[in-house]
Structure 1
């Protein structure tokens, strides 16, 4: 029995060549534990329960992981401690990124149906949810098989399954960032007028800062996942996997930094009441035919921005033009007959009735309806 147990251990008579630092493990355990009630309160206060509970689940797994690391400090051959450490520190970032994925459909709904990348923003949430479930299944199965395998081949197969789960996590985070940056590019190079329904949200400084925090958090967890993947390529006995410095600085610190960044500006504080209104999953009564399945707010049905700015009565712009026919708005954009909305910045007007002289000598344009400035979007 003793010989069989020795063959299971990756190094010597334990899972680590030296006991993990109990001080470092305790510090990170306390830090993750403190963030649990803070995220719980933020979810209840800002009415974002699903998002906050997902982050809380990730924080709980991190706490469990560092409890296992403390058990490994007491006994490097503790199978229970190693299982808790591996599952906790691998599952925790997966749940945190799952919470970040929930933000993307709400962002897409904010700007209007012309800027959607798919027919329904809810598809983003469903797609990433499926990826997360597959990732969790592969990671849990990999840890279980690599620990309980009776032969070296079975343990190696378990490690390969675990690496597949980490690879899926890396791919999902990278895909999320690519979709988000593609959406940002489409907003900056738009040919349509932004939907002004939620302009108070996407023009606020708090919302812009939150988007930056979201990207940093996703990037931190992506780097951490890459480090964990590389450290396990050579097995549990590799130099990187046995290094306490790598485990604390490039693993625990990055995940903790991502969690702190996400709570500095809670998602509910950035979106306000618009978080529930922009949910693409639960359309309100009578709104099932809306293109993005937006729900009605308390103030009544949302107003749709007209295709063209409307002229204000008895109000004219000081800008004057030479006599001639006013320019007409384009009916085709980029050769597409279906795109009938004018480019951003278009204005139209009428001949002034108060111009001096026997005949109208200037064409004055009515002031445009207040739109969104290009430089103030992000």
Structure 2
């Protein structure tokens, strides 16, 4: 019979016996989603989405490590791999999402509708994402040492708060831009409004998923090792795994293949022709 084993003395890495079945299911789902996105990126040359694929690979490895940990709850490596990679993968999804908004703004020739200048917009949010990623990764590394558990939790919490703030700001910036664009539409936007509206709807959807997941993680680490969330595995799957797979599905369904540099140049040329014609 499988039992929860201590890593060292009375110190336990896990607060429960991880489910191999649940982890296996999500590893398989992320494999399918990431494989599809890899094919889309390769076919359309949308290489700015590669970082999203790396996030998917992190999810796959993380859940594979969880699946292998059921009978190895006293082994450090599977715990470290799944804890770190599942924690930081959404930061990589976020980086692609930030880049998509900047390309949408340029594609509809609406730089003057953005609250933040487009030349700074992507850099600001991606830099914030990098900070969040680095802080969470370092916190996860410290946490698994055992002796510095509380310090690691606090560092992770700081990184998650940065992520929540940046994503909240991103949603506000995207919303204001969208509202202004609808009120004062540009020629390229009116030319194919449904296409641009659909990509913005996708951005809102994945942003909400990641924001909810990050808030869950903030609450989880605020409660600490003795809190309900870290002691019950179902919360991870409902408020993290399901939401992040939802991000992959939404991104794949409305994959922004027309936002490559070559396509944007064509869009810009057509847009300027429409403006001159009008």
TM-score (norm 2): 0.88
Equivalence for 2:9: 6
Deviations 1:141-184 (A, max 9, x none): 101111225x3xx3311211111011111111111101001112
Bigger RCO of structures 1 and 2 (CA < 8 A, at least 6 apart): 2
Would you say the 8 A contact 1:106–1:278 is kept in 2?
A: no
Equivalence for 2:80: 83
Deviations 1:69-94 (A, max 9, x none): 12321222221111111111111111
Equivalence for 1:168: 162
Would you say the 8 A contact 1:197–1:303 is kept in 2?
A: no
**3-state SS of 1:223 partner:** helix
Name structure 1 gaps, 5 residues minimum. Answer: 280-294, 311-368, 370-378
Q: CA deviation at 1:296?
A: 6.3
Residue 59 to residue 74, structure 1, CA distance change in 2 (3 Å): same
Does residue 158 of structure 1 match 2:152?
yes
**3-state SS of 2:69 partner:** helix
**3-state SS of 1:99 partner:** helix
Would you say the 8 A contact 1:71–1:78 is kept in 2?
A: no
Would you say the 8 A contact 1:220–1:258 is kept in 2?
A: yes
Q: How does 1:90-101 map to 2 (within 5 A)?
A: 90-101=87-98
Would you say the 8 A contact 2:51–2:95 is kept in 1?
A: yes
Does residue 225 of structure 1 match 2:214?
yes
Q: How does 1:105-184 map to 2 (within 5 A)?
A: 105-109=102-106, 110-119=108-117, 121-148=118-145, 151=147, 154-184=148-178
How many residues are paired up?
273
Inter-partner Cα distance in structure 2 for 1:224 and 1:297: 35
Equivalence for 1:28: 26
Residue 304 to residue 238, structure 1, CA distance change in 2 (3 Å): same
Inter-partner Cα distance in structure 2 for 1:252 and 1:299: 41
TM-score (norm 1): 0.66
Q: How does 1:38-49 map to 2 (within 5 A)?
A: 38-49=36-47
Q: CA deviation at 1:68?
A: 2.1
Deviations 1:256-275 (A, max 9, x none): 0111011012111xxx3x54
Which structure features the higher share of helix residues? 2
Residue 244 to residue 155, structure 1, CA distance change in 2 (3 Å): closer
Name structure 2 gaps, 5 residues minimum. Answer: 1-5
Q: CA deviation at 1:200?
A: 3.3
Q: CA deviation at 1:277?
A: 5.0
Does residue 259 of structure 1 match 2:241?
no
Inter-partner Cα distance in structure 1 for 2:7 and 2:16: 21
Would you say the 8 A contact 1:22–1:73 is kept in 2?
A: yes
Would you say the 8 A contact 2:18–2:70 is kept in 1?
A: yes
Deviations 1:201-224 (A, max 9, x none): 4x1x34322321221111011111
